[in-house]
Amino acid sequence: MSLSPNVDAVAAGEFSETGVVPLPSSVYWRCTLGLKAELSAISSQTKLLFVPGVKGASEAAADLAEKLARDGGPKLTPAEAPEGKTHADIDEILFVSAEGLKKEGYRLHAAAGVTMEAGDPAGHFYAVQTLLQLLNPTGEKGALKPLRAGLHITDEPRFAWRGMMLDCCRHFFTVDEVKEVIDMMASLKLNVFHWHLTEDQAWRIEIKKYPELTEKGAWREGVGFGLPTTSTTHYRASDGQYGGFYTQDDVRDVIAYAAARHITVVPEIEMPGHATAALTVYPKLGCTGGPYEMMQKGGVFKEVYCAGNDETIAFLKDVLDEVSELFPSQFIHVGGDECPKDRWTSCSKCQGRIKAEGLKDEHELQSWVMRTMEKHLSAKGKRLLGWDEILEGGLPPGATVMSWRGMKGGIAAADSGHDVVMSPTTHCYFDYYQSEDKDREPKAIGGFLPLEKVYELDPVTTAIAENKRHHVLGAQANLWTEYIPNAGQMQYMIAPRIAALAEVVWTPQEKRDWPDFRMRLAAQLKRFEARGFNYRKPE
């Protein structure tokens, strides 16, 4: 790459060499006479400055200092900029506020120094993530390189919801392992961590009012899913139990860690299906009264919460009360997927509820449960989010839909004025195989979702009426962990597909380009390596 001075170069192709992922919404180079062609390398002489009072600026400067030191660069100490300073001079990096940028947006100007402009703390944070990738594309220690003068980036996300779900029930992941995922998400400008916390196979979140949920419900006989005990570190040979859970302090710790990285943690408490762990602990909450057994295998099970039992409804509300208190997230995910109606059909309480509430059938009973929870949550200022099955039997008024069985549910929900997150199995299910040569891959649940297919997703389809497309909040990847008993395998399923997803949800659709992404991905793969994040090498 060589640019003559005083030449404007719109540099889509040339920018490929930088390895920045996701691709910013607007990039150009303008070299003007009188400027050095390149900045000198960031050195111990570089001043790291922030304008006092600019929200998020000092934190961003501190984050940059920490990461530069981590990468073997000079140890810089952030300092307040002198009054009136708006642009970085030579050998300076300056964080300032800016008008006219969208939420989470930023501008990065590399002239004599580097000026980082943003209108909010997330914008400053994302400016740092981009600068780090520019200064050290491979992420390796000691690999910092000079920044070319004349680079101007104006950047903002395409979507407000840039998510990743991790199922910590089928298999357990420690707080530190969860934080590693959060770190990777943040470096790629993802901002929603959807934490799947209750299931047939385990209940993972401490609920003070019902301590047995985790005392008993977080443990099961063996690793389950036919996997050997050696595949995980969470199996206790002493009593043959597998499991683990998050105390409320752990949860607060994860939320704070994520918040510092501009990631919202959205909890999922499954109902009325996928409830066997809770029913095993409290059999009276089911239609038959049990006994129930912790599930050891995957699938969709008939044992679900009894929707006719007032005690069950009170239990669910109690759990949501504690969860709403713990999580600052506006959205609370209540599952709603895969709830067989077999038990409800032959349960006198459920049939009684259908009659008393004037419901047509069991599908409307499911909808009644969702409506009841939606009312409960919205009275607390929270919003209910559920998988697309919550459309069946009627969508509660304020509900947001996560569309997983393709985009259909999302299209229908958006068309009827509901917010939507797209997460179709076809493009977003990271538990699917990454290659058709399955014998050479770790055992997975099935399917085939190569990197390129993830990249192909456009969350906004023309099938949605034009004036309803703003209801698509964004998209997310889901990692269900039936066959994923340890963090190394979990990371392997996430990376590098998470990089493709990041570009889907961040970069303007018209700027996205698969060959260009593949070029920039080469640096991203090195960054996975440098961060110790396991990944699959693409062909």
Q: Which residues of this chain interact with ligand ACM, rule CB under 6 A?
A: 337-338, 387, 404
Question: Closest separation between CB of residue 286 and Zn ion, Å?
Answer: 7
> Which one of 245-253, 307-315, 440-448, 498-506 is the stretch in contact with Zn ion (CB under 5 A)?
307-315
Q: What is the C-alpha to C-alpha distance for residues 102 and 227, in angstroms, rounded to an integer?
A: 48
Question: Closest separation between CB of residue 464 and ligand ACM, Å?
Answer: 21
Q: What is the C-alpha to C-alpha distance for residues 39 and 192, in angstroms, rounded to an integer?
A: 35
Helix (H, G, I), strand (E, B) or coil at 316: helix
Told to check if 319 binds Zn ion by CB under 5 A, we report no
Element housing 185 (H / E): helix 175-187
Told to check if 186 binds Zn ion by CB under 5 A, we report no
Q: What is the C-alpha to C-alpha distance for residues 137 and 126, in angstroms, rounded to an integer?
A: 15
Told to check if 271 binds Zn ion by CB under 5 A, we report no
The DSSP code for 40 is P
Residue 404 binding: pick among ligand ACM, Zn ion, none (C-beta 5-8 Å cut-off by kind): ligand ACM
Told to check if 349 binds Zn ion by CB under 5 A, we report yes
Residue 337 binding: pick among ligand ACM, Zn ion, none (C-beta 5-8 Å cut-off by kind): ligand ACM
Question: Closest separation between CB of residue 484 and Zn ion, Å?
Answer: 33
Question: Closest separation between CB of residue 202 and ligand ACM, Å?
Answer: 16
Q: What is the C-alpha to C-alpha distance for residues 340 and 444, in angstroms, rounded to an integer?
A: 25
Cβ proximity to Zn ion, 306 vs 475, nearer residue: 306
Residue 444 binding: pick among ligand ACM, Zn ion, none (C-beta 5-8 Å cut-off by kind): none
Cβ proximity to Zn ion, 162 vs 343, nearer residue: 343
Question: Closest separation between CB of residue 287 and Zn ion, Å?
Answer: 3
Please report, for residues 77, 80, 502, the alpha-carbon distance to residue 494 in angstroms, rounded to integers and kept in the order given.
34, 39, 12
Told to check if 347 binds Zn ion by CB under 5 A, we report yes
Cβ proximity to ligand ACM, 254 vs 390, nearer residue: 390
Residue 387 binding: pick among ligand ACM, Zn ion, none (C-beta 5-8 Å cut-off by kind): ligand ACM
Q: What is the DSSP string of 394-460?
A: ---TT-EEEE-SSSHHHHHHHHTT--EEE--HHHHBTTSBSSS-GGGS---SS-B--HHHHHH--SS
Specify which residues 475 forms β-bridges with: 162, 422
Nearest residue to ligand ACM, scored by beta-carbon proximity:
337
Question: Closest separation between CB of residue 347 and Zn ion, Å?
Answer: 3
Residue 313 binding: pick among Zn ion, ligand ACM, none (C-beta 5-8 Å cut-off by kind): none
Told to check if 501 binds Zn ion by CB under 5 A, we report no
Cβ proximity to ligand ACM, 337 vs 456, nearer residue: 337
3-state SS track over 80-140:
ECCCCCCCCCCCEEEEEECCCCCCCCEEEEECCCEEEEECCHHHHHHHHHHHHHHHCCCCC
84 Cβ contact list (under 8 Å, min separation 6): none
In this structure, what token pair is assigned to residue 108?
A: 């990065």
> Which one of 38-46, 182-190, 235-243, 282-290 is the stretch in contact with Zn ion (CB under 5 A)?
282-290
Residue 308 binding: pick among ligand ACM, Zn ion, none (C-beta 5-8 Å cut-off by kind): Zn ion
Residue 287 binding: pick among ligand ACM, Zn ion, none (C-beta 5-8 Å cut-off by kind): Zn ion
Cβ proximity to Zn ion, 114 vs 339, nearer residue: 339
Residue pair 336/390 in contact (Cβ under 8 Å)? The answer is yes
Question: Closest separation between CB of residue 299 and ligand ACM, Å?
Answer: 11
Residue 106 binding: pick among Zn ion, ligand ACM, none (C-beta 5-8 Å cut-off by kind): none
Question: Closest separation between CB of residue 338 and ligand ACM, Å?
Answer: 5
Backbone angles phi, psi at 48, to 5 degrees: -105, 105
> Which one of 216-224, 244-252, 268-276, 280-288 is the stretch in contact with Zn ion (CB under 5 A)?
280-288
Q: What is the C-alpha to C-alpha distance for residues 79 and 50, in angstroms, rounded to an integer?
A: 6
Please report, for residues 31, 329, 399, 401, 466, the alpha-carbon distance to residue 413 in angstroms, rounded to integers and kept in the order given.
48, 22, 9, 7, 14
Which residues in this chain contact Zn ion in the complex, by CB under 5 A? 287, 306, 308, 347, 349-350
